[in-house]
């Protein structure tokens, strides 16, 4: 370890910044976030820095060049001028006075460096490469950003509020550590992350009352896995996938996403196809409740969004009736994902002022929809699960007044490397499908916006995670 990583308390302490450009501004902003009182020395200031001086009483500007006496009674100094010789002189004087000094872009003159920071106050993560590559440090920080939710600051505040009570409740350090391990990886933390702070406090009180003995009840996470591309998962979805004990999933969730679930988690496949159910929906509902009652953290992974034709509402009905705690994590629904990757905007001021999501078949297997409403102009209609009923959809729309030359597009396995788009009209789509049958799942989009796909000269590249390559999608593919 070349450098000692420390966190320095400079709250209300005098710190010096020499320089008036963008780098000085960035350094000054970091000092102010830590509560420092800043003495700023520079003959001139860029407008943004001048505005900060005007607005912040904790910044004092000395409109002149650096003077040796500027280092008197200073806790920390930063040299950020555009003159390397001046910066080097400031660094030498600061070191002689035992004042920590940072010099912008001159690591050899620094006595300390300022790392890339992930700020979730009071939680702060600092990343440094020891001056070897600041760009690499920023890249690492960007990756860590996805692993450290914004709610960690709120979680730390909750820990601070309960720290003394936990010490009173558990005499042995080992018991306290086990208690905090469970709290910080369980229901309390997840409620904090989702912004349900009152529920988090109530859950914390129950944990304390239980005396450190975990309850038998687990929890169910209804997580939207998106339309197929793993890059479309939310940060929260990924976090819950990594901590689940068992995952319950169906055929709309692809292998690349399943591979991101915690490796030692139990896998339960409950895939359903038309008239072919591995497990009936009522049985899935009961299974989720049963697994949670066994004390397991259950990940119910659903393609798209759980509440848009994902039957998530039916599942939480059962969980609520059984007294099982649950969370719902929204996902990018197939309509948004597939339309975007196919280059079709669902709304456009000139062509569609509304968009309607419709299921292609009802519970009894029929397609008995409000065709009069669906035939209204200036809208986009998206049919889920409508491939089998496509002939009926086409006939009914034309029968209720939709022009036979209305654009339609079928998007096969959208957002994946198997995506294929079938643009046509209501009059021609059946012939095209008969000639080249698409593979489910296939989304159907009807409306004038389909024509914009060619006009936008769309180009999308989808990662091919099976082959390690990429698939370019051009208009007409």
* Cα dihedral across residues 187, 245, 305, 272: positive or negative: negative
Q: Is 386 annotated as a binding residue?
A: no
DSSP 8-class letter at 343: T
Strand, coil or helix: what is 322?
helix
Report residue 434: phi and psi, to 5°.
Answer: -65, -35
Helix (H) or strand (E) holding 38: strand 37-41
385 is in an annotated binding site: yes
**Kind and range of the H or E element at 268?**
strand 266-269
Calpha distance 274→389 (Å, rounded) = 11
Residue 10 labeled ligand binder: no
Question: Which of 95, 272, 286, 293 is labelled catalytic?
Answer: 272
- 115 marked as binding residue: no
Provide CB contacts within 8 A for 391, sequence distance 6+.
Answer: 430
Q: Is 420 a catalytic residue?
A: no
* Alpha-helix runs per DSSP H in 76-127: 84-96
- Is 198 an active-site residue? no
Q: Is 256 annotated as a binding residue?
A: no
Q: Tell me if 304 is assigned to a ligand binding site.
A: yes
Question: And the tokens for 380?
Answer: 């986009």
Catalytic residue from among 70, 245, 250, 296:
250
- Confirm or deny that 389 is annotated as ligand binding: no
Q: Is 303 annotated as ligand-binding?
A: yes
Q: Is residue 279 part of an annotated ligand binding site?
A: no
DSSP 202-267: HHHHHHHHTTT---S--EEEEEE-BSS-GGG--HHHHHHHHH-SEEEE-TTS-HHHHTTS-TTSEE
Annotation: binding site for NAD(+): 22-23, 43-44
Which residues are annotated as part of the binding site? Answer: 22-23, 43-44, 227, 303-305, 308, 333-334, 385, 414
Catalytic residues: 250, 272
Annotated binding site for S-adenosyl-L-methionine: 227, 303-305, 308, 333-334, 385, 414
């Amino acid at each position: 370890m070349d450098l000692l990583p420390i966190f320095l308390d400079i709250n209300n302490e005098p710190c010096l910044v020499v320089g008036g450009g963008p780098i000085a501004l960035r350094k000054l902003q970091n000092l102010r976030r830590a509560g420092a009182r800043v003495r700023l020395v520079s003959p001139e200031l860029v407008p943004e820095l001048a505005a900060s001086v005007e607005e912040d009483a904790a910044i004092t500007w000395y409109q002149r060049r650096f003077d040796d006496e500027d280092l008197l009674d200073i806790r920390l100094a930063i040299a950020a001028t555009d003159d390397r010789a001046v910066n080097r002189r400031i660094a030498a004087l600061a070191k002689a006075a035992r004042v920590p000094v940072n010099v912008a872009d001159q690591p050899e003159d620094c006595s300390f460096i300022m790392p890339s920071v992930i700020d979730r106050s009071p939680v702060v993560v600092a990343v440094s490469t020891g001056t070897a590559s600041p760009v690499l440090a920023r890249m690492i920080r960007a990756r860590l950003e996805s692993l450290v939710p914004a709610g960690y600051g709120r979680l730390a505040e909750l820990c601070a509020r309960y720290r003394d009570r936990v010490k009173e409740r558990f005499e042995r350090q080992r018991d306290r550590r086990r208690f905090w391990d469970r709290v910080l990886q369980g229901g309390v933390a997840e409620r904090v992350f989702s912004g349900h702070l009152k529920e988090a406090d109530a859950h914390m009180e129950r944990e304390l009352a239980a005396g450190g003995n975990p309850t038998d009840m687990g929890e169910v996470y209804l997580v939207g896995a998106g339309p197929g591309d793993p890059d479309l998962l939310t940060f929260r979805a990924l976090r819950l996938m990594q901590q689940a004990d068992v995952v319950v999933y169906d055929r709309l969730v692809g292998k690349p996403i399943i591979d991101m679930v915690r490796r030692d988690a139990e896998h339960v496949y409950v895939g359903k196809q038309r008239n072919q159910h591995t497990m009936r929906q009522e049985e899935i509902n009961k299974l989720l409740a049963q697994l949670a009652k066994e004390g397991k953290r259950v990940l119910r992974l659903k393609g798209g969004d759980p509440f848009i034709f994902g039957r998530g509402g039916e599942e939480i009905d059962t969980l609520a009736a059984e007294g099982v705690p649950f969370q719902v994590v929204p996902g990018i629904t197939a309509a948004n994902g597939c339309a975007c990757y196919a280059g079709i905007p669902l709304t456009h001021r000139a062509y569609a002022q509304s968009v309607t999501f419709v299921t292609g078949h009802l519970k009894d297997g029929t397609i008995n929809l409000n065709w009069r409403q669906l035939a209204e102009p200036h809208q986009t209609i998206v049919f889920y699960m409508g491939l089998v009923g496509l002939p009926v959809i086409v006939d009914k729309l034309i029968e209720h007044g939709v022009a036979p030359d209305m654009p339609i597009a079928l998007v096969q396995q959208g957002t994946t490397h198997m995506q294929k788009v079938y643009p046509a009209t209501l009059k021609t789509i059946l012939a095209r499908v008969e000639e080249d049958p698409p593979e489910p799942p296939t989304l159907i989009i009807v409306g004038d916006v389909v024509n914009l796909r060619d006009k936008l000269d769309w180009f999308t590249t989808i990662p091919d995670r099976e082959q390690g390559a990429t698939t370019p999608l051009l208009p007409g593919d």
